[in-house]
Amino acid sequence: MRVKVCGMRDSENIKELLEINPDYMGFIFYEKSKRFVGEELDEELLKSFPKRTKKVGVFVNSTPAYILEKVKKYALDFVQLHGEELPDFCRNLQFKGVNIIKAFSVDASFNFSKLHNYKPYCDFFLFDTKGESIGGTGLTFDWSILNKYDNEKPFFLAGGIDLANAHLAMEMPSLRIHALDVNSKFETEPGLKDIEKIQELIKIVKPEEVFTA
């Protein structure tokens, strides 16, 4: 199990987080988000990341040109598509060498068969809580819904994950959960993460990890 910390933008906070070796760090390129990176993101800092921590750009119904520009500018390792992007959109980006995480908002009526056409063009899926608007809700969905998933493609689990419920994900070994994706439950304010809380999460998810920070 791995950890993805999303919604980063402050340089000092990013540096502090790097010291505890998260597996993935997410940056939101969606203007309507409270955590939109805007002009704050330090290009040189992102290009100096250790290989251990993968950089994920989060996009919502963006143009391919905009996505490819940001991939190149910040040396992004993955693109997370969090809008209504179709399989052909993913295919075209993949053809240009982009690694793709396709996000889906899940509720009790979610039809997992729609994922079949995406599988050839995505490295991972991401399952989040369905809300009234695009983006994270900070709420947890009923994870038992995932028993309907064929489990063929590993996925990121998102939506209201915190220190109280993270261990429950560890108790579902039949599901191919690649990583826990966290954001608002580990913040002091939008875009600023509580490093100590994230360190506690990593200890839960990867108890064998030895911290040097």
Known active-site residue 107: no
Convert the chain into a string of H (helix), E (strand) and C (coil). CEEEECCCCCHHHHHHHHCCCCCEEEEECCCCCCCECCCCCCHHHHHCCCCCCEEEEEECCCCHHHHHHHHHHHCCCEEEECCCCCHHHHHHHHHCCCCEEEEEEECCCCCHHHHCCCHHHCCEEEEEECCCCCCCCCCCCCHHHHHHCCCCCCEEEECCCCCCCHHHHHCCCCCCEEEEEECHHHEEECCEECHHHHHHHHHHHCCCCCCCC
Give the tokens for residue 212.
């040097």
Known active-site residue 128: yes
Q: Which of 123, 128, 142, 194 is catalytic?
A: 128
Catalytic residue set? 6, 128
